[in-house]
Structure 1
């Protein structure tokens, strides 16, 4: 059963809230953002893994013959085909859930371990604040405005592999990051050549000659940031140079690979402290006036 079926089998009660969508770039993974004061799930299973975070309140549920409680601040995870139900405690609960397919988890594990493997999770509630923040941030990012594929893929791979490697029953471990100067150089060259285009993590890893997981580790070790962080810094540096000229702000955003003007403004201000327009006015007010009049 998918989560849409579970919700419609016992529809949310009045006053409750649920938003469900699918992520096509992650094998059609269902994502659910919900707040329940009264809604109770009938016993059901999923063909997928169940991964999420409790953001408020307490969810009560029965799983593997035991009554359990998942509380705010905890990560929750279930293997595929595990029978469970769900209902709110007196204070209700809110959660953000992912339903990643077995194939998606298998691909992430092959990437991280160099061979096929699937995690098994014996514990269903996890106290792991760092993982909680990573999963919640990923979920917010998927629900929010359009994001760059490199950022989304990086966040998803890091969050799901961290969950499996820390808490899954896996005998194999990733190899040490080590030094990969040639691969890092190839990755930087690829990023520098694609400042104006969307970058896929899989394409970047192929250019570097490493798996996606290993590339993220060696790149951060060598450069001090993720490939997406490096790409963003290079795009902002290019934007600052272009803002000294006469290109309209929308054209500067496009030339630097930002999704739209709002994305450009948000990222630029986050790195520089002022908006692109303010930067242009402060660095060259004469050219800003000429560009506005063009």
Structure 2
């Protein structure tokens, strides 16, 4: 029910004052974190607070808001960070603004940092408007990915962990850093074996980390250092490789997609073309295998 609730809300944007648009949904995977994708030309927020952190990006225009007694201007390309229980308002400047905002619960940020630092920690953000292009891209990419119909658990958890940890460690008041990277060849080998054995179904980052005996954050770092890509990137490449092998046979594309862990045929098409340069049907025709659209009975 929670998953259906999240997806339903993400498909029911509200149209308020002329020119305004807002879509709000909650993510069960991330402690029912609220997510907002909005464009405001006229809407003005009354002064208010949140029990959660506020982590977001301005994707167009400029928003003005009063925070800690000062009026701030956040413009396209800026990262916005607010602490819990801090009074603020919000209003459009000029032609308005568009933004993508996360409201991560305090417990979620605490769990994320405990995983990264091996100890409990919570950040307090001093600056509220920041120029950090890398963090901007990470937050925007995660927000967009959460709106996609293809919701890969391993990818979403990995991107969220990296984005929220980066925000806290770069811009919070924490005098702490993750433990040194080092080399973990046995853990990396076990991670690859685990991923190879789970090509056909969803993989949870927590399950993968438990299987190799590392924290989620440390696993992501050592895996990328050793393999050159993330666990999700490795898994996707292996799934595409299996799909290429199966395209030499008679199975319909929809069945190949399911057997290789893709949500559906459209998901297979998008990922396959991004990596191979042609769609699966084109690849099959090039291999000389007849195209089969329906399963034989």
Q: Scaled by the length of structure 1, what TM-score is found?
A: 0.93
In the alignment, is residue 169 of structure 1 matched against residue 178 of structure 2? no
Unaligned stretches of 5+ residues in structure 2? 1-14
Give the Cα–Cα distance (whole angstroms) in 2 for the partners of residues 212 and 293 of structure 1: 40
Aligned match of 2:223 in 190, 202, 219? 219
> Equivalent residue for 2:255?
251
2:23 aligns to what?
Answer: 19
Displacement of 1:235 in angstroms is: 0.5
Instruction: Give the stretch that moved more between structures: 210-219 or 168-177.
Output: 168-177
Map of 1:69 onto structure 2: 73
The structure 2 residue matched to 1:54, chosen from 38, 51, 58, is 58
Match of 1:153 among 143, 150, 157: 157
> What CA deviation, in whole Å up to 9, does each residue of 1:2-43 have, x standing for no partner?
xxxxxxxxx942221111111110000000011111100000
**CA shift for structure 1 position 144:** 2.0
Q: Give the alignment partner of residue 264 of structure 2, picking from 260, 265, 284.
A: 260
Change beyond 3 A, Cα 1:293–1:150: closer
Match of 2:290 in 1: 288
Distance 2:250 2:96 in 1: 55
- Post-superposition offset of 1:254: 0.8
SS in 1 for 2:80: strand
Aligned residues: 282
Q: Give me the CA root mean square deviation.
A: 1.3
Q: Which residue in 2 is equivalent to 1:208?
A: 212
Question: CA offset at residue 291 of structure 1?
Answer: 7.2
Matched, 1:101 2:130: no
- Indicate yes or no: 2:190 matched with 1:186: yes
Deviations 1:198-255 (A, max 9, x none): 0011111111110000000000000000000000010011111111111111111111
Distance 1:191 1:47 in 2: 38
Tell me the distance in 2 between the aligned counterparts of 1:289 and 1:219: 38
Segments of structure 1 that go 5 or more residues without pairing to the other structure are 1-10
Contact 1:246 1:291 in 2 (8 A): no
Say whether residues 1:44 and 2:30 are aligned partners.
Answer: no
Q: Distance in 2 between matches of 1:270 and 1:146?
A: 15
Of 81, 89, 92, which residue of structure 2 is paired with 1:88? 92
Structure 1 pair 42–230 and aligned structure 2 pair: CA distance change class (3 A): same
The reply on whether 1:79 has 2:114 as its aligned counterpart is no
Change (3 A) 1:289 1:266: closer
Alignment check: 8 A CA contact 1:54 1:73 kept: yes
How far apart are 1:98 and its partner, in Å? 0.3
TM-score, scaled to structure 2: 0.92
